[in-house]
Structure 1
Amino acid sequence: MSEIQTKFMFRLSLEVGPHHVVGTTPAGSRRIAPVAGGVFEGPELSGIVLPGGTDWITVDPAGTWFRIDVRLPLQTSDGEILTIAYQGWRSGTKDTLERLGRGEEVDPDDYYYRVACSFETASIKHARLNTIVAIGNGWRLPSGPGYDIHEVL
């Protein structure tokens, strides 16, 4: 069997608003971050992140991992609408994640941040996105998260 190969699709940069803190639930400490906008840029697919997306975040009691569940509406530079949904993990030492939480810049190599992505669209031009698997590696800046998204070939 051959090794998994990927192809870079785009870099996604998000602008998030103030978090809605739900509090401690049976699943963990929950908060929801509204996504106000952003951009995605790549060799074959670029555009803007439309308002209305959300980032549902669950944090473990020890503060060493974040489970994320994100859904975003995107508009391509050619005017087509699609959605991206991704789930994944951001984990590291409690100190590292607290520094990120305070808005400090932290080297992405100091923590793990990976997501699995899927797309949905009614666009004929971009219909192949409906049937691909994509993965991303992320980082967190004071302005919001960013990801490099890669198609799994």
Structure 2
Amino acid sequence: MPDVILPTLRHLFTLEAQLAPPLDAGEGPLGRRTLSAVAEGRFSGPRLRGCVNPGTGDWMLTRGDIRVVDARISLITDDGALIHMSYGGRLLFDREALTALADRSSRHLIDPSRYYFRTTPLFETGHAAYLWLNRIVSIGVGRLIAGGVAYDVFEVT
């Protein structure tokens, strides 16, 4: 049996986004669909930094206790590049944390160890300085913050 090659992670950036009030479409045939649009946001890392284009966001689907992340956002770097970032993922809360989640004013106080929030961002850009993003796989570790969400995004090497 060949040796297993374990991937390593390299910090790509941390993103923080403030969210507009959610738009809840109610229970549909696939579950409960909710749009959480970005009102404003910033990202910063060793190789890129900038802002999140407002209005982009997450079309989350809730089925039972599983929240399925379906996000598409536009990143605008400080040097003017436009980068499309799309990601899926899962967000799961234990029963007690799920109750605390209902209070939007204090939900950011839920200890991140009480929930699972992981994503798989992919990037698209035509900007010469960031073409390397088109060729990487990444993972994101999410957490709730006051008024929104944050992600620590890592390149899988």
Could you say which TM-score interval applies, normalised by the shorter chain?
over 0.9
Counterparts of 1:25-36 in structure 2, within 5 Å, are: 25-36=28-39
Q: Is contact 1:54–1:71 with CA below 8 Å preserved after alignment?
A: yes
Q: Is contact 1:100–1:140 with CA below 8 Å preserved after alignment?
A: no
The alpha-carbon deviation at position 74 of structure 1 amounts to 0.7
Whether 1:106 aligns to 2:113 is: no
Give the whole-Å Cα distance in 1 for the aligned partners of 2:97 and 2:122.
29
Query: How many residues align structurally?
Result: 151
Residue 21 of structure 1 aligns with an amino acid whose one-letter code is D
Normalised to the residue count of structure 2, the TM-score between the two structures is 0.91
Residue 84 of structure 1 aligns with an amino acid whose one-letter code is M
Q: Deviations over 1:38-89 (max 9, x none)?
A: 000111111100112121111123xx22111111111111111111111101
Q: Deviations over 1:73-114 (max 9, x none)?
A: 111111111111111011022331231232221110111000
Of 28, 32, 38 in structure 1, the residue corresponding to residue 41 of structure 2 is 38
The alignment's C-alpha RMSD in Å is: 1.2
Normalised to the residue count of structure 1, the TM-score between the two structures is 0.93
User: SS of the counterpart of 1:99?
Assistant: helix
> What corresponds to 1:47 in structure 2?
50
> What corresponds to 1:152 in structure 2?
156
Q: Deviations over 1:96-153 (max 9, x none)?
A: 1231232221110111000001001110110110111110101012310100000011
Give the whole-Å Cα distance in 1 for the aligned partners of 2:80 and 2:102.
35
Give the whole-Å Cα distance in 2 for the aligned partners of 1:25 and 1:98.
22
Unpaired runs of 5+ residues, structure 2, are none
Give the whole-Å Cα distance in 2 for the aligned partners of 1:98 and 1:15.
22
Residue 80 of structure 1 aligns with an amino acid whose one-letter code is A
> What corresponds to 1:13 in structure 2?
16
Residue 127 of structure 1 aligns with an amino acid whose one-letter code is L
Q: Is contact 1:17–1:35 with CA below 8 Å preserved after alignment?
A: yes
Of 129, 135, 139 in structure 1, the residue corresponding to residue 133 of structure 2 is 129
Q: Is contact 1:16–1:33 with CA below 8 Å preserved after alignment?
A: yes
> What corresponds to 2:89 in structure 1?
88
Residue 91 of structure 1 aligns with an amino acid whose one-letter code is L
Residue 47 of structure 2 aligns with an amino acid whose one-letter code is E
Moved over 2 A (4+): none
Q: Is contact 1:52–1:73 with CA below 8 Å preserved after alignment?
A: no
